[in-house]
Amino acid sequence: MAKNIAILAEDDYEDLELWYPLLRLREEGFEVTVIGMDCDVYYSKHGYEVVADAAVDEVDPNGFEGVIVPGGWAPDRLRRYPAINDFVRILFDNGKLVGSICHGGSVLISAGILKGKKVTAVSAIKDDLINAGARFIDTEVICDGNLISSRTPEDLPAFMREILKALKAQRS
């Protein structure tokens, strides 16, 4: 049975940081569910549409093996919804994969899961991550337990290599 991976969506997401993981995961046989606050159309920073498959309050986090939080300006909107933060926290607390790239770390901050964790992200949120108790390291990808983080679209190949490696290890 294919594992179900959530990708969070909201307006102004970074195009590549949503679509690259979505397509790579599907290529590898994973079921991917795009989750937003509503079953709605969300537009990227460059106008590309993604349709949410489900609203966050309609899904059970226990039905997912992981979540990816793309960057762009979307995380700043997503972090304002307690249901999004709860979804991410439950997956994290259950030892499921939590992936974050670029500004996606903003959601991890609001979910309250970074204390004592090593992470990377776009430098614009470095101080926020540190103030949330994380240890910031400026490198293309960081794996700390079930948390995988990356900086920018240029780091997507390394980010997805680690995401896929972790998910395949969970399959075993």
**Strands 135-136 and 141-144, sheet pairing:** unpaired
**Is 46 annotated as catalytic?**
no
Residue with tokens 């920018």: 152
pLDDT on residue 1: 47
Q: Domain coordinates of the chain in residue numbers? A: 4-171
Q: What are phi and psi of 42, to 5 degrees?
A: -120, 145
The whole-model pTM stands at 0.96
Q: What is the pLDDT of residues 75-128, one digit of tens each?
A: 999 999 999 999 999 999 999 999 999 999 999 999 999 999 999 999 999 999
Q: Which one of the listed residues 89, 103, 117, 151 is annotated catalytic?
A: 103
Q: Given 3.40.50.2300, 3.90.79.10, 3.20.20.70, 3.40.50.880, which CATH number is that of 4-171?
A: 3.40.50.880
Q: Tens digits of per-residue pLDDT, 147-167?
A: 999 999 999 999 999 999 999
